[in-house]
Structure 1
Amino acid sequence: MMPMVYTVYGFAIFFMIAWICLWLIHIMALSYSKWKLHRTVDRSPPEQPYLGVSILKPLTGVDPNLFSNLETYFTLDYPTYELLFCVENEHDPAVMLVNSLMQKFPQVDARLFVGGLCVGVNPKINNMQPAYLAAKYPLILVSDSGIRMREDTLLDMVQHMKEDVAIVHQLPFVCDADGFAAVYEKVYFGTAQARMYLGADFLGINCHVGMSSLVRRCALEEAGGLAAFGEYLAEDYFMAKAVVSRGWRMRVASLPAQQNSGAKSVGALQARLKRWARLRIAMVPTTALLEPLSECLPLGAGAAWAAGELFGAEPLPFFLVHVLVWFLSDWLMLRSVQNGSPPITKVEFLLGWVWSECCAPFVLAAALLNPEISWRTRSYRLDWGGRAHELKPKLKF
């Protein structure tokens, strides 16, 4: 009987410690966001000229917002940069779009690379490899096709690139859009994703997301260059791990990345979340055990039971207060990431938040039950440690 009692109390103490730690992360991330995000970009002349930046833009197909997204890169307020567009084949409709932009902005140094170079299973790395080899500046910005840039974003990122820093990446966020899928996307990236991202950055944990990432080329070459990460699908995580292990630091920029995909749907976002969860599980298997404790509902249920066991508290009121305070904390986090009131009503936020929190455990369960990863038209299987194998390869470079 006594071992059973000790086991119950052991689990109760574990849940209470996890609950306290998550609330500390809430407080830390919210406070850090107020200090870190949306700081005024310094436009005064620098003591030393800013380093040149080679911007790699891997493209596959087009969506309704691609033209306007790419156009923002031709109007950046930065003294020295080049645009290197990468497509897998000459028949990609993005080719015509890129050519029209280069004709519209002939004063901008821009080139188009077609065909890629196979250095591994990661199609993004293969697509960018020729442009990376041809890049002429010491800073490399890898920027996904769906990212929209403010004119001062690149300047903000470069100003964070101190002498001991090798990677400056943006907090993933989204542009304003209409529809429930857009609300769901904004709630997820502005609350759960932002909280863990900012908390990890504050604590010095690798949280690198490569959708908009500025890298010091010499540091990347020390790790084997871009090709060294072609065997991974989560190339951003392993790139940061390799660079930081060599003594470099990594920082988050003050301006969040503005994802601006032209086609939004609940299913598409959940497919992305499942893919990312499968990658996290393969890279860090303990994710499958610990990640549910970062979610509001599973953690709240466990903490409510633990409070009843340890302190005699009523579980239901404890759980309801936990959920209410978590909800209010997430509203404040979204306002901080948005830099003001988000363009959604509180009712829309409530619906999006409830949907996001209720779906989170099922997304993780789906990732656990089906380890195969679908990425555009390709499928992959991951080994423990993160290395990937393509199933039925279709494309040869």
Structure 2
Amino acid sequence: MELTFAAAVTSSALLVSNLASILLAAWRLKPRHVIAPPASKQPAVSIVVPLRGVEAFTRETLQRAFSLDWPRYELIFCVAQGEDPVIKLVSAAIARYPKVPARLLIGDDRISANPKLNNCVKGWQAARNDWVILADSNVLMPKDYVQHLLAAWRPDTGLVCSTPIGSRPDGFWAEVECAFLNTLQARWQYAGEALGLGFAQGKSMLWNKPLLDGNGGIHALAAEIAEDAAATKLVNGLGLKVNLVAAPFEQPLGQRRLAEVWSRQARWARLRRVTFPQFFAPEVLTGLAAPLLLALIAAASAGVSLPATALCVLAIAYLPECLLASSKGWYLSPRSITAMIMRDALLPAIWARGWFGGAVDWRGNAMTIRAKAMTELEEGA
């Protein structure tokens, strides 16, 4: 009887916390709306975009970057290797949009084991404006991209970010990636911000350049293997906050394979493990595996139907997730619940992988991630 009660109470508590995180995220997130271009004079902005290789949506993301409704901005594209095929696409885009100030910088500044951060150094140093956005190349910028980032800046802000919202999945494993990015990771990040625990996300980062330069510059982001973890600690150390945009930006996914989903999620898990172990430890409880297992143990002890119990737990967990995605205009399909189930089946294995060493892949680099940014890195194929 005690086991039945303890399992039932714990399962219920986990399901309630899951629902609470969805409600917090739904309250914090705002419906997507277009912010008009500024009528009065606004600050000039530099947008630094690190690139490596040509991806499925590279042409479209480049076109979006040149089509922003902001009166004064410059684009600084950064590529580490001179033979990278993406250089031709960037050069063609710069020629196609001569009215938008844009530069292509090639070279690699090895300040850390983080290849993206190394690629951004030259762009940061070349930026001419006090407001600088570090934007991943696969972010699908809306026309009001700059407006949304600046609108989230407050007097006590040290950094504004946006989580990636997966869109345009092609195939089941891409839908699993959407389930990871949207109604799990973005949801918990917005719930955390609502509770005063804002974490940086490296997809889109708006910095006040004098603020960061006055506290170590971009080199300060090499203090951790992940630049967003270093950014979070730096901003919090200054007594400032990390804010998220009210409506996050899209990352179109295209096709994904299981190996790609596993590799990416395992890398992120390992990074979170070495940078924020106190928050990573309870992550295994955020999926459905723990509450479902405990509910089945309680049902078996009490003589309740196991299939009925499982269906009840699935409904309590996944229907609110679907409602959150629907209300915010995020991707949903008839396979979304199946993708969520697969995501939550993978979560315990990914969480366990986060506690162990061994190489993970980071954009073609084989990397062994250790605590306090101590890494071994060798170029991959």
Using the size of structure 1 for normalisation, the TM-score is: 0.86
Residue in 2 aligned with 1:31? Answer: 27
- 1:152 shift after superposition: 1.2
Q: Secondary structure of 2:206's partner?
A: strand
Q: Structure 1's 353 and 15: CA in aligned 2 closer, same or farther, altered over 3 A? A: closer
Sequence identity (%):
25
Could you tell me which residue of structure 2 aligns to residue 129 of structure 1? 121
SS at match of 1:106: coil
- Counting only pairs closer than 5 Å after superposition, residues 142-221 of structure 1 correspond to structure 2 as 142-221=134-213
Relative to 1, partners in 2 of residues 1:18 and 1:326: Cα closer, same or farther, differing over 3 Å? closer
The 1:288/1:175 distance shift into structure 2, 3 A limit, reads closer
Alignment of 1:87-102 (within 5 A): 87-102=79-94
Aligned mates of 2:300, 2:116 — CA distance in 1: 50
Partner of 1:64: 56
Matched, 1:41 2:27: no
- 1:187-266 superposed matches below 5 A: 187-261=179-253, 263-266=255-258
The C-alpha deviation readout for 1:192-248, integer Å capped at 9, x for no partner, is 122212111111213321111211212222331111222533111211221132122
Q: Does 1:292 align with 2:289?
A: no
* Residue 330 of structure 1: aligned partner: 321
Match of 1:280, SS? Answer: helix
> Hey, what does 1:380 align to over in structure 2?
367
Is contact 2:159–2:206 with CA below 8 Å preserved after alignment?
yes
Q: Give the Cα–Cα distance (whole angstroms) in 2 for the partners of residues 289 and 314 of structure 1.
A: 32
Aligned counterparts of 2:9 and 2:184: Cα–Cα separation in 1:
24
- Asked whether the equivalents of residues 179 and 343 of structure 2 are also in contact (C-alpha less than 8 Å), the reply is yes
Contact 1:181 1:264 (C-alpha < 8 Å) held by counterparts: yes
Unmatched runs of 5 consecutive residues or more in structure 2 = none
* 273-282 or 8-17, larger mean C-alpha shift: 8-17
1:303–1:207 Cα change, 3 Å: farther
Q: Is the 8 A contact 1:380 1:388 kept in 2?
A: no
Distance 2:38 2:367 in 1: 48
Greater mean deviation of Cα atoms: 253-262 or 210-219: 253-262
Q: What RMSD, in angstroms, separates the aligned Cα atoms of the two structures?
A: 2.8
Number of residues paired by the alignment? 380
Q: Distance in 2 between matches of 1:18 and 1:108?
A: 50
**Structure 2 letter corresponding to 1:27:** L
Give the structure 2 partner of residue 280 of structure 1.
272
In structure 2, relative to structure 1, the CA distance for the partners of 1:12 and 1:321 (3 Å cut) is closer
User: What does residue range 354-393 of structure 1 map to in structure 2 within 5 Å?
Assistant: 354-384=341-371, 386-392=372-378
Q: Closer, same or farther in 2 for the Cα pair 1:288/1:162, shift >3 Å?
A: closer
Change (3 A) 1:172 1:182: same
What SS is found at the alignment partner of 1:233? coil
Contact 2:170 2:254 in 1 (8 A): no
CA distance in 2, matches of 1:81, 1:343: 34
Which has the larger displacement, 214-223 or 69-78? 214-223
1:190 counterpart SS class = helix
Deviation at 1:365, TM superposition (A): 2.6
Given that 1:190 and 1:338 are in contact with CA atoms closer than 8 Å, whether structure 2 keeps it comes out as: no
Mean CA deviation greater in 21-30 or 327-336: 21-30
Amino acid at match of 2:23: I
* Counterpart code for 2:363: R
The runs of 5 or more residues in structure 1 that have no matched partner are none
Write the deviation string for residues 121-167 of structure 1: whole angstroms up to 9, x where unpaired.
Answer: 21111111111111111111111111111111221211222333221
String of CA shifts for 1:162-189, please: whole Å, max 9, x gaps: 3332211113112324322332222322
State the Cα distance separating 1:106 from its structure 2 match. 0.8
Q: Could you tell me whether the CA contact under 8 Å between 2:173 and 2:258 is conserved in 1?
A: yes
Partners in 1 of 2:273 and 2:23 — Cα distance?
Answer: 26
CA offset at residue 258 of structure 1? 1.3
Q: How many Å separate the matches in 1 of 2:14 and 2:56? A: 43
Change (3 A) 1:355 1:112: same
Give yes or no for contact 1:16–1:307 (8 Å, CA) kept in 2: no
Q: Provide the C-alpha distance between the structure 2 equivalents of 1:7 and 1:370, rounded to a whole number of angstroms.
A: 35
SS in 2 for 1:141: strand
Query: Which deviates further from its counterpart, 374-383 or 148-157?
Result: 374-383
Question: Which one of 289, 297, 311 corresponds to residue 320 of structure 1?
Answer: 311
Amino acid at match of 2:132: I
- Give 1:298 deviation, angstroms: 1.6
Structure 2 letter corresponding to 1:328: L
Deviation at 1:58, TM superposition (A): 0.5
- Aligned pair in 2 of structure 1 residues 337, 234: CA closer, same or farther (>3 Å)? farther
